[in-house]
Structure 1
């Protein structure tokens, strides 16, 4: 079964990867895993303490301690996007992988106000578009962009209409964007998880662990492994759309 070597994560070794929302949750888990198999990662976060803690965790498990960097940036602003890609240009020559993952929770139109909705839309959707645009400029002949969406794009729960709007937007954008850039040798993957044990979930840490053990919630590591799977495929294989839900999240 030598052909299985084509599908092993060794293909990620040495790759230059940018992960937004990389200081907590899915982004942090992905950064830990990818650096552990030899990738070089830059993570973007919003909180200094979370970022510092994440970098310590990543570097302690990485193949090389010098393979992880971080930046605090507000991705809801054009200035924040520019700061992130300024670091990419200083630290990397080009970019191999972008993992769009940063997101803010949001409820319905009866909650919040225009300014708060604008920040959510800018962070959850506009930043994805902007980061994709900037990443493509730095991918020479091949690359891979993974957009982390949500099952909310399909379920469309009434309790989160604003959040649903952004995740539905990511779904539509990803499909059209793939058609735009595939001829450039760039892959685009949309991953849409169900409930995941992250800070976005309102339950206590204990309650979330109980849900994971009861097969009602995924761990962030589950999605990180899925990201690695998508990145590890040979050039001829595109994982276009991957939906992952807890076994007992029956919707």
Structure 2
């Protein structure tokens, strides 16, 4: 029997990248999955990939919604309960490094950029966790947050607001893990390094520039000792591991770093990679 058979998973930000890969793997491992994102076309692509892998449509709940809004959060939870009757796992994956439209960096970035980064990368996680908490207590479920090595101790001067939000997410993961384990709910996170997704594009890079960005970093041992950018599947497998009570039952409030060794050296100028 597949290891997540009978389980229901909500995965935010699952219209592409890590979230899409996680949704596909969870479904293939037997779970009912709620996928969501703001872009209906990309979300439909996720759904079709899942269905083409042999998963029946009754295992998939597709919701076009903005997870930073109360209405979007409520629709995710409501539709999941209506279709599947329960919630076992919440994967808070939605996230992005919002850049300043003026091109400003570091302390010159506007407060509107600060608010956007905080709203998506930490506030939406707090709100979803609060709202799903009663259902996870009932199912003795799991929360997996997707953070970033940007939230670690190394300074990220060009994009401080995103890094601040991820650092806050790491602390929130630890705090909530202690709060919820008394109810049998586990909370953990994964902190990816460089992963070849649409992330660079969300920071304002065109497709060709994004490709150059990942190729440059992968060619520099002082950026990625493994000399290869991670794939969405690399991170998705870790998410499944942390969501699997049998495989990771004694891991509470921890973050698994998956970065090809980047944080062991971190001697690269990321701004140079984006030029």
The TM-score, its normalising length taken from structure 1, stands at: 0.88
Aligned-pair CA distance for 1:65: 3.2
Structure 1 pair 157–216 and aligned structure 2 pair: CA distance change class (3 A)? farther
SS of equivalent to 2:182: helix
Structure 1 pair 14–102 and aligned structure 2 pair: CA distance change class (3 A)? same
Which 5+ residue runs of structure 1 have no aligned equivalent?
Answer: 1-8
| In the alignment, structure 1 residue 168 sits paired with structure 2 residue 181 | no
Aligned-pair CA distance for 1:29: 0.5
Q: Quick one: distance in 1 between partners of 2:59 and 2:212?
A: 33
Structure 1 pair 178–248 and aligned structure 2 pair: CA distance change class (3 A)? closer
Q: Deviations over 1:50-70 (max 9, x none)?
A: 111111011211543321121
SS of equivalent to 1:70: strand
**Which 10-residue stretch deviates more, 237-246 or 10-19?**
237-246
Residues 3 and 29, structure 2, Cα contact 8 Å, conserved in 1: no
Alignment of 1:35-54 (within 5 A): 35-54=27-46
Aligned-pair CA distance for 1:248: 5.8
Q: Which residue of 2 aligns with 1:72?
A: 64
Q: Quick one: distance in 2 between partners of 1:212 and 1:183?
A: 42
Alignment of 1:8-157 (within 5 A): 10-107=2-99, 108-111=106-109, 113-139=110-136, 140-154=138-152, 155-157=154-156
Structure 1 pair 135–212 and aligned structure 2 pair: CA distance change class (3 A)? farther
**Which 10-residue stretch deviates more, 237-246 or 123-132?**
237-246
**Which 10-residue stretch deviates more, 204-213 or 174-183?**
204-213
Q: Quick one: distance in 2 between partners of 1:197 and 1:238?
A: 27
Q: Quick one: distance in 2 between partners of 1:81 and 1:248?
A: 34
Aligned residue pairs: how many? 242
Q: Deviations over 1:122-144 (max 9, x none)?
A: 11111000111111111214000
Q: Quick one: distance in 2 between partners of 1:78 and 1:105?
A: 21
Q: Quick one: distance in 2 between partners of 1:50 and 1:98?
A: 21
| In the alignment, structure 1 residue 215 sits paired with structure 2 residue 227 | yes
Q: Deviations over 1:45-100 (max 9, x none)?
A: 01111111111011211543321121111222222212222212222212000000
Root mean square deviation, CA, Å: 2.2
